[in-house]
Amino acid sequence: MGRLSGKVAIITGAARGMGASHARLFVEQGARVVLTDLNVAGGEALAKELGDNAMFVAHDVTKPESWETVVAKAVAAYGTIDILVNNAGILGPMAPTAELDNDGYDLVCAVNQHSVFYGMKAVLPVMVKAARGSIVNISSIAGMAANYGFPSLAYVASKFAVRGMTKATAMEYGKHNIRVNSVHPGFIQTPMMVEATDEVGGEALAQIPLGRIAQPIEVSNVVLFLASDESSYVTGAEHLVDAGMLAH
Ligand SMILES: NC(=O)c1ccc[n+]([C@@H]2O[C@H](COP(=O)([O-])OP(=O)(O)OC[C@H]3O[C@@H](n4cnc5c(N)ncnc54)[C@H](O)[C@@H]3O)[C@@H](O)[C@H]2O)c1
């Protein structure tokens, strides 16, 4: 019996990186998973590989109407939604505040922050009806502190916001048996990180008590716990997966 047997999950940004890792683990643990992404080719290929318990829906998380389509397709295919993982995100332009262009700022906030509102708003009616649910919002260490070498006010603003939005919604929906938590990864080996930095070494590694970057599965294991009934008394909380970076 899998740790997510009988559950239905939506995972955004599931075509690659951590989202793909979460999707693989969720299916392995018995969930039926709706993978969503802008990247149609990547998302469809992964859903096919994962078999009968996975489907892909093309999705732009910044568009509320796109969320309506995802929720309608998930409910039509699998009957309900137990879990939402708001994972899609972008690093966006990295520039000091005075040089950050307005469009870049708006885009980062739309993808990383506004999407979390649209997503929670879209799935909550289904979860309230079922009187259960777990929402996992992916923030970052940049949602806890601003000094980790990424000079982008936009990224930090969006990830701090996700942390607060998580707590606000957890407070409101606890009475419906719906839990909402945020996850704060440190340095994780994904295409996003590889595209942003040629390699993480020297100074950056010295900031990490465990002395290494993580593989996506090391975050997926925490997301799995929060998605599952094993975390039944855990809500409104921040979960660092940062090898101790913020412990100083
Ligand atoms: N990699 C890290 O070190 C790290 C650290 C902290 C937090 N995070 C966060 O973890 C999450 C996943 O990051 P990752 O490293 O796997 O990134 P990634 O770039 O490898 O994957 C992100 C996925 O999101 C999708 N996406 C982007 N914009 C979208 C949109 N508008 N609608 C739908 N899908 C969209 C992309 O197509 C991609 O498949 C992000 O929220 C990121 O901010 C990453």
Residue 137: closest CA among 79, 188, 183: 183
Q: How far is CA 105 from the centre of its chain?
A: 20
Please give the full DSSP string across 122-151, using - where no structure is assigned: HHHHHHHHHT-EEEEEE--GGGT-S-SS--
Residue 248 belongs to some domain of the structure: no
30 within 8 A of 6, measured Cβ to Cβ: yes
Q: Domains in the chain: how many in total?
A: 1
What is the domain extent for residue 210?
8-241
Q: Which residues line ligand 1 (CB under 6 A)?
A: 12-13, 15-19, 37-39, 59-62, 87-90, 111, 138, 140, 185, 187-188, 190-193
State the closest ligand 1 atom to the C-alpha of 195, by its place in the atom list counted from 1: 19
Over its length of 248 residues, how does the chain's per-residue pLDDT go in tens digits?
899 999 999 999 999 999 999 999 999 999 999 999 999 999 999 999 999 999 999 999 999 999 999 999 999 999 999 999 999 999 999 899 999 999 999 999 999 999 999 999 999 999 999 999 999 999 999 999 997 666 689 999 999 999 999 999 999 999 999 999 999 999 999 999 888 876 666 777 888 999 999 999 999 999 999 999 999 999 999 999 999 999 98
* Domain presence at residue 108: yes
pTM strictly above 0.75:
yes
Q: Write out pLDDT tens, residues 178-213.
A: 999 999 999 999 999 888 876 666 777 888 999 999
Check which CATH number belongs to the domain holding 130 and give it: 3.40.50.720
Residue 111 forms part of a structural domain: yes
- Does residue 246 fall inside a structural domain? no
In a domain, 2, yes or no: no
Q: Give domain status of residue 115, yes or no.
A: yes
Which residues, at least 6 apart from 92, have a Cβ–Cβ distance to it below 8 Å?
104, 105, 107, 108, 111, 112, 152, 154, 155
Ligand 1 pocket: which of 69, 90, 106, 144 to mutate (most atoms within 8 A of CB): 90
* Residues with active-site annotation: 155
Q: Evaluate whether residue 1 is within a structural domain.
A: no
Determine, yes or no, domain membership for 247.
no
pLDDT of res. 121: 99
Q: How far is 178 from 159, CA to CA, in rounded Å?
A: 22
